[in-house]
Chain A
Amino acid sequence: MKRREFLTVPATALGGTLLYTLTREPLRLQAQDGNVNIPLRFFSAAEARVIAAACARIFPTDATGPGANEAGVVIYIDRQLAGPYGRDKYRYTKGPFVESVPEHGYQGKESPRELYRAGLQTLAGFVDLTAEQQDEKLRSIERTTFFQMLRSHTIEGLFSDPMHGGNAGLIGWQLIGFPGPQMSYRDEIDKHFGMPYRPKPVSLQQVVGHPVHGWEDEKDT
């Protein structure tokens, strides 16, 4: 059996206080908790560090606010790849596989898992590069299916509900002023014209009052 891999991160880097569901157990993480070990479902610890470093260049932590690291984007990606999406359970994967015009999209045989494993090969030594070198490296692969997927997944990990493993502490939603899934704006939709209306963000679990599981947790049938 595969040895259990963990990603070790300082709690402060994950946005301080947050509600975090690991292995389906809610966990309140405090900054003073020091380092936390997050069990990985798909990546090895070394792979997770490479992906996290790449996501941090795609959506950096900088003057405009927190980035992919604070949101825990790599954890989001790890879970997506471990789940049905990662192994193409919901993509048409019958052959023959042929190259076609761009209007037909990705026609390849490789699943997201396989694309990541191959993509990781091209990022060997990535964590040891300077930020400028990392950007240069990413620019050299930015037209690949792997990079485009990584970029989309980074955005998803920042702005999806925290039940999926990213958007830790709703940090992504706070960054852009998105209030999460609210039950009603009936009394607000025709007000605030020209003015920002920014209710405090809530997660889906907070809205419905019970834990909700993402599609990535679907059991194989």
Chain B
Amino acid sequence: MKVLKPVNVVIVGGGWTGLAMAKEITGRTSLSVLVLERGAPRKTSDYAAGMDELDYAIRVRMMQNIADETITHRHSVRDPSVPVRQYGSFLPGSGVGGAGEHWNGNSFRFLESQFVLATHLREKFGAGHLPENIAVQDWGVTYNDLEPYYWRGEQMMGVSGKAGNIRGQKIEGGNIFEGPRSSEYPLPPLKTSYVGLRFKEAAEKLGFHPHPQPAANASEAYRNPDGITRAGCAYCGYCERFGCMIGAKAQPTNTLLPVLARRKTFAMETGCWVRRVVHKNGHATGVQYVDANGEEIFQPADEVVLATFTLNNVRLLALSKIGTQYDPAKGKGTLGKNLTHQVGGAGTRLFFDHPLNLFMGSGALGMLFADFDGDNGLTGSEGIVRAGHIAVGSSGNRPIASFGQYPNGAATSNWGSQWKAASIEWRDRISGIGFTGEHLAYRHNFMDLDPTYTDKLGDPLLRFTLDWTEHEHRQRVFAAGIQLKVAKAMGVKFEEPRLAPVKYNVVQYQTTHIQGGAIMGTSPENSVVNTNLQHWDVPNLWVVGASAFPQNASLNPTLTALAITYRAADAFIAPHEKHSKGAA
């Protein structure tokens, strides 16, 4: 194996969290930082020719090559696992910028109660009244601890939105249920679409508090504190699964990378497939990887940061034999526990008598209300302990994925003349009210290594043991009830969602929000990393990103993943910053 010259810090993964760590460390210390990224280099000018639904949204060209590595899934420990053979329920990114290149731009903060969820639920409902096998935990950090880091992320990305709580002052038009912010959003909200406006009017009539969805899609030209300028959003409708061709959507390549590119202590190598964290006696000595030419390489480093997607953070720890695998039968071990996704699947379709021009939009363009987020508005009689957001989105409909929708019963087959006529008649006249719900952690949902299936190099794949429970079904039923009220108030035709309990499905896209497995906490007994995201057993190993979430909130995780990473960066830098200043 080839051994390279040592670096101070090696970071695995060149997405949001990896490049954020790199930027903080290289900006505030004299340490040398090397980022190893598996995928290919990327830049904004690549993206104009990428406005192609087939290659990018249907064949998902920007994602990890699933032929090389996938995950396996089983619904319970009693079932055999099988590989996810083609992408479906979530889409792991690859390449410089990672999934931060082709995300929608939804940039939320989590509720204050989320960070102390175990304590909060015990106090509110009583330990005996919680869902069976619930495994939620407190994070070990509070919303107030994270507020400055949320703000750092929002400024870096130029988040567009309307605050609903500034230092305790509630502001109509924003999310009045959010925790206190130190400042208004860096940019005003995006424009409001037609369906967004109709939804807002109806929700207000019902006494709810609709507000514009916070978006990393800049509502107007923006210059961030690093001096990086970006254009305002063009509402072209090509965000999710696409890179932004004008750089209006904040992406690692148009925010962090331009700053890093100027720094002499920063380097990045692409095409590097990291296989192991090398460690001895509780100390990481570097990483072992295979480069683009297939050569096995050892990169020595003083500090190692794992900043890949949740899946690979957990898998690399397991492959490197760092920590103790969680065993649900014995309730022992911490690695792999508290796997969460996000609850969706309930949608009330709305039928309009005129076209909606739904091809226009922006990834995070939407209107939503939080009157039932967390346990807001819940009495305990609903059979659920947490709900989520009710929303309409205007992300931009593209023609392949959106073709073939019509009211139930308008066609008896899903092909042929009658189907074609119904699909064309209803084309661009159907919208929907959606639900994003909080996914609680359960003892039976976890990750480990698959005993059978392997990646292209022969390393075991990550295995999900994951299924929906009665609680998620009840959340969807509850959400549908609220959606129907809003639909009626909108004065349009609508259809009640048909909601039967479902098993977890790897085929249908849900969201790319997979959390947990290397969770943060206050003790090695209940967590994999401490609240600075340092591994309990290997203190010079940092595992950053959404793998540290003890459970998911109802909302999209990117901004929170970034906030805890910024906080980890401050802890990482503290002992070095002094030294650096002294030397300067």
Instruction: Report which A residues bind B (CB closer than 8 A).
Output: 57-60, 62-65, 67, 85, 88-94, 96, 98, 100-101, 103-107, 135, 138-139, 142, 151, 154-156, 158-161, 163-164, 172-173, 175-179, 181-186, 188-190, 192-197, 204, 207-208, 212, 214-215
Contact = CB atoms under 8 A, between A and B. Distances in A.
A151 B88 CA distance: 18
Nearest to A189: B235
B323 to A, nearest CB: 27
Interface stretch (B58-66, B104-112, B312-320, B368-376): B58-66
Contact of A161 (B54, B59, B453, B504): B54
Nearest to A166: B54
Interface residues of B, number: 69
A48 to B, nearest CB: 20
B53 interface: yes
B58 A156 contact: yes
A139 B415 CA distance: 10
A186 B58 contact: no
A60 B237 contact: no
B422 to A, nearest CB: 9
Given A93-B67, A94-B453, A185-B235, A155 B416 contact: no
Interface of A is mostly: loop
Nearest to B361: A189
Nearest to A150: B415
Given A98-B80, A107-B85, A64 B417 contact: yes
B400 to A, nearest CB: 5
Interface-central residue, A88, A142, A160, A185, by most chain B CB under 10 Å: A185
A18 B424 CA distance: 23
A186 B233 contact: yes
B454 interface: yes
Contacts of A184: 234-236
Contact of A155 (B82, B88, B400): B400
Nearest to B54: A160
10 contacts: A91-B67, A107-B82, A156-B58, A176-B399, A186-B235, A188-B357, A189-B394, A195-B354, A212-B52, A215-B59
B416 A135 contact: yes
A204 B47 CA distance: 12
Interface string B125-154: 000000000000000000000000000000
Interface in B547-584: none
A138 B413 CA distance: 12
A64 B83 CA distance: 42
Interface in B350-368: 354-355, 357, 359-362, 365
Interface of B: 48-49, 51-55, 58-59, 61, 65-67, 70, 73, 75, 80, 82-86, 88, 191-194, 197, 232-238, 245-246, 354-355, 357, 359-362, 365, 394, 398-400, 403-404, 413-417, 420-421, 424, 427-428, 452-454, 503-507
B236 A60 contact: no
B400 A159 contact: yes
Contacts of B365: 189
A60 to B, nearest CB: 5
Contacts of A215: 55, 59, 61
A178 B359 contact: yes
A160 B55 CA distance: 9
Nearest to B353: A194
B399 A178 contact: yes
Given A60-B417, A67-B420, A160-B400, 10 more contacts: A58-B415, A58-B416, A91-B67, A101-B503, A107-B83, A159-B403, A161-B53, A163-B52, A189-B394, A195-B354
Nearest to A68: B420
Contacts of A158: 403
Contacts of B413: 139, 142
